Amino acid sequence: MDLEFTELQQELRDTARGVLASACPPSLVRGVFEATAGSEGADALWATVCGLDWPGLGLPEEHGGLGLGVVEVGVLVEELGRVTAPGPYLATVTQFVPAVRAAGSSFRLADVAAGTCTGTLAVAEHGRWAPGVAATRADRVGDGWRLRGTKSHVVDGATADELVVVARGDAGPGLFVVPAAEVVATPVESLDPTVPLATVELADVEVHGERVLVEPGDPASASAIGRALDEATVMMALSTVATCRSIFEATLAYAKDRHQFGRPIGSFQAVKHRLADCFLAVERAGALAWFAVLTVAEDDDRRPLAVAMAKSAAGDCAQLLSRDGLQLHGGIGFTWEHDLHFSLKRAVTGDLLLGGAAFHRARAAELMGLVPGHEGAA
């Protein structure tokens, strides 16, 4: 196993980091938090991202993409997570696109690559993420399907052009693409405005033809949904760990800079040990996330367990870094004026979306045969 970037991947990372340093400064993120500048900052960032062809980076050339792979997408996800970038990239590229592709479809991928279509994936209901317990119905009507139900915590749910919905027919779960105009999306006021959430209501929405990605009862259904969710989940893990790394770096710098009792607070062993533990948590979660990315990229059998482990470790990491990052910054980190809270909030958001640490440990326990699994769990 080779868990280090190739030279090209390192170059991509360095380029992305350089671009984002000027295209997504903390002042832009603050603008999103304070809504002082409307959505201008985020729009400008998205224009930059599209200008660099990042939405299509991992898409095949036949769909207008750059033909790179899941690992390269992961490189961008890390860099965007690092600066708590707002915008449609996360939901479009790591949720909508994997769902479409896992179904063997190319629906609107060319538009995504061209930067003219955004999307998302609607999985959760009442904050629960197991696709096997989805109550949203899919019922046959003529040559199509009628969807009815309510999805919660949909990233960009009120702004994305297309929503992939997990809904359940009599024969099991399926995947459907619904245009924004067909749903009633209610934005949720949430802690982290860089990852906007919405409740999405489907009131007898009919879908036909290529918008039916995976039919309920299709033998390939479970594996397609599983693959889509795994890719979305591991990318959320990567993004979250990258955010945690920036909390860590900020906290480390603060511990070297801040003096009390005539010396840097980072010279006290109680602080040192916490920072060493934080460093371990970030490296641990990062290594697990990249391993899981590779199992997705190479379609390895270990994927479901690797992803569950990676997301649970990312959750552990987010919990530790949001606690110790804030605690070690002391009062200054508790203020709205300091930028730390952007990454604290992004980290806890990344922990809980697509299932938190405990959810994924429970999933791992099922996959390891330690507890009985529930029917239909993908």
Partner 1 sequence: MRLRFDPSVETVRDEFRDWLGANRPAPAEMAADPALSTGHAPDWMRRWTRRMFDAGWLVPGWPPELGGRNAGPVETFVVLEELARARVPRTSNVQGLGIVAPSIVDYGTPEQVRDHAMPILRGEATACLGMSEPGAGSDLASLSTRAVLEGDPGSGEWVIDGQKVWTSGANYADFCFLFCRTEPDAPKHRGISILLVPMDTPGVTVRPLPEIVHPGEPDLNEVFLDSVRVPAANLVGRRGDGWAMANGSLAHERGMVWVNAVMGLEEALEQLVAQAPALLAGMEPAERALAADEIVRIAVDTQAARCLGQRGFAKLARGGSAPEQALMKWYASDCRQQVARVGADVLGAGSLESGGVPNDGHLAVDEPRGTWMEQYFHSFANTISAGTSEIQRNIVAEKVLGLPRG
Residues engaged in binding partner 1 (CB under 8 A): 1-6, 9, 71, 252, 255-256, 263-264, 266-269, 271-273, 275-277, 279-280, 283-288, 290-291, 293-295, 297-298, 300, 306, 309, 312-313, 361-362, 364-365, 368-371
> 162 or 351, CB closer to partner 1?
351
Candidates 242, 214, 240; CA nearest to 228 is 214
> 16 or 50, CB closer to partner 1?
16
Question: Quick one: tokens of 179?
Answer: 């245009």
3-state SS, residue 84: coil
> 29 or 354, CB closer to partner 1?
354
CA angle in degrees (0–180, nearest 5) for 336-338-339? 100
CA-to-CA distance for 212 and 332, rounded, in angstroms? 51
CB of 122 to partner 1, least distance (A): 28
> 103 or 255, CB closer to partner 1?
255
> 145 or 254, CB closer to partner 1?
254
Beta-strand pair 119-122/162-169: parallel
CA-to-CA distance for 319 and 108, rounded, in angstroms? 37
- How does DSSP classify residue 122? E
CB of 142 to partner 1, least distance (A): 45
CB of 240 to partner 1, least distance (A): 15
* Integer-rounded Cα radius of gyration of the chain: 20
CA-to-CA distance for 79 and 13, rounded, in angstroms? 7
CA-to-CA distance for 37 and 215, rounded, in angstroms? 43
CB of 274 to partner 1, least distance (A): 9
**What is the largest distance, in Å, between two alpha-carbon atoms of the chain?**
77
CA-to-CA distance for 238 and 30, rounded, in angstroms? 23
CB 352 within 8 A of CB 316: no
> 167 or 314, CB closer to partner 1?
314
CB of 339 to partner 1, least distance (A): 21
Question: Quick one: tokens of 376?
Answer: 């239909």
CB of 365 to partner 1, least distance (A): 4
CA-to-CA distance for 21 and 17, rounded, in angstroms? 6
CB of 185 to partner 1, least distance (A): 35
Residue 35's CB: how many other CB atoms inside 10 A? 9
> 229 or 294, CB closer to partner 1?
294
> Which H or E run includes 184?
strand 184-188
> 301 or 337, CB closer to partner 1?
301
